[in-house]
Structure 1
Amino acid sequence: MGKSSAPRRVAENEALAVANMVRISPQKLNLVAGIIRGQKVEKALADLTFSKRRIAKDVKKVLESAVANAENNHGLDVDNLVVAEASVGKALVMKRFRPRARGRTGKILKPFSRIRIVVREVEESE
């Protein structure tokens, strides 16, 4: 008697990929996620490939993972995929201190983020 499988968190024509504990602030990560929201997957991958931002490489990995999940786990057509959702959230914040003048300390916050990308298969309208 094993556990029954959990219901899908997304629709039948969607696939999901998540990255937790990405070492960047959510505000900066959201700038990159905003670039790919609503775009076709091949355009989004091209934009991330040529983006100057450091975190674009990690976002590209998550998007490629979502595409692989769509193809291998859910049998969706890769050519018709669109980035339906790219949401960013807060993870933990490491707190560090730095000695400052006159015996005081300076607080250093090192934030982590999580990103969730959902790709959806759309019918081609020609």
Structure 2
Amino acid sequence: MGVRKRQMAERLKEEKSKIAFAKLNNCPTSPRKMRLVADIIRGKKVEDALSILKFSSKEAAGRLEKLVLSAIANWQAKNEDSDVVEAGLIIKEIRVDGGTMLKRLRPAPQGRAHRIRKRSNHVTLVLGESKMLKDN
């Protein structure tokens, strides 16, 4: 391995140690409803996001709260010597994609049937350390 390639690999490894992610697959909530809650917490500090999710009345908030806690646990597994509060973790990225769709039939008048699509979603959450706290 060349010198530049090794330096690049070490730099990428260092950057990856500062982030942690968690995924939630096939969550039985429509992506549109999940994105409403995800947009609220995008870019916030982890403590603020958890308090917002805890007191939100949306069903998706409970699922996202559990996902944020999972991402924090993943970050702590990587950085055992660091503290979550001192690191100033923020939600760098939260992405809600469409998942599988269950197709059902609902009876309609005059012998017809309407198709019901029960949607699900995939959520990817990336936590990172805040740059502002490191500069100070």
Q: Whose Rg is larger?
A: 2
Equivalent position to 1:103, from 87, 101, 111: 111
SS in 2 for 1:11: helix
Superposition pairs of residues 36-51 of structure 1, within 5 angstroms:
36-51=41-56
Aligned residue number for residue 77 of structure 1: 83
Correspondence 1:28 to 2:36: no
Whole-Å separation in 2 of the counterparts to 1:77 and 1:89:
31
Asked if 1 retains the 8 angstrom alpha-carbon contact of 2:17 and 2:78, the reply is no
SS in 2 for 1:43: helix
Shift of 1:106: 1.2
Q: Deviations for 1:10-48, whole angstroms, at most 9, x for unmatched residues?
A: 733100000001011111101110111000000000000
Give the partner amino acid of 1:50: F
- Give the paired residue count: 119
Equivalent position to 1:116, from 121, 124, 133: 124
Shift of 1:58: 0.4
Superposition TM-score, scaled by structure 1 size: 0.87
Correspondence 1:94 to 2:128: no
Shift of 1:122: 2.1
Whole-Å separation in 2 of the counterparts to 1:118 and 1:77:
18
Shift of 1:100: 1.0
Aligned residue number for residue 60 of structure 1: 65
Give the partner amino acid of 2:58: R
Aligned residue number for residue 4 of structure 2: none
Larger CA deviation: 46-55 vs 77-86: 77-86
Structure 1 consecutive aligned stretches of length 4 or more whose deviation exceeds 6 Å? none
